[in-house]
């Protein structure tokens, strides 16, 4: 295989032959200057009313979780599933109907696979 033939007038382009770039007209970035303390934004500082609401909501949520835990610990049998007299769709597990003596909502759809 022969190497590619370049015409004699072709000059290889290198970084030395690149034109010199002019300096931009944009001034350099200056260091940050300290401003007055009133205009600074403190991300840790919040509205006191909002802080109170957030704390109350968190306390209420924790109390609710603790109440649920105590109820579950007091009577563990109260949270067991109660088997019903009907079977599930696979005819394997007795289940209690979710809505007793109420008409079904929605439409029946037959799907053939």
Counted domains in the chain: 1
- Confirm whether 59 is domain-assigned: yes
User: What domain range includes position 51?
Assistant: 47-71
- Confirm whether 113 is domain-assigned: no
Give 9's Cβ-side CA count (13 Å radius). Answer: 0
- Confirm whether 10 is domain-assigned: no
* 2-6, 91-95, 106-110: segment of lowest average pLDDT: 91-95
- Residue entry with tokens 């929605």: 106
- Confirm whether 65 is domain-assigned: yes
Task: Report whether 87 contacts 95 (CB < 8 A).
Answer: yes
The enclosing H or E element of 87 equals strand 86-87
- Confirm whether 16 is domain-assigned: no
- Confirm whether 111 is domain-assigned: no
Q: What is the pLDDT of residues 4-46, one digit of tens each?
A: 777 777 776 666 666 777 877 777 777 777 766 666 666 677 7
- Confirm whether 104 is domain-assigned: no
This prediction has a pTM of 0.31
């Amino acid at each position: 295989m022969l190497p590619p033939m370049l015409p004699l007038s072709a000059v290889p382009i290198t970084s030395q032959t690149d034109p010199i770039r002019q300096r931009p007209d944009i001034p350099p970035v200056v260091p940050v200057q300290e401003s007055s303390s009133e205009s600074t934004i403190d991300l840790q500082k919040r509205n006191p009313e909002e802080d109170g609401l957030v704390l109350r909501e968190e306390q209420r949520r924790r109390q609710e979780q603790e109440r649920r835990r105590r109820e579950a610990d007091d009577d563990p049998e109260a949270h067991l599933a109660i088997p019903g007299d009907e079977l599930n769709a696979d005819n394997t597990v007795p289940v209690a109907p979710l809505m007793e003596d109420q008409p079904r909502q929605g439409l029946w759809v037959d799907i053939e696979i």
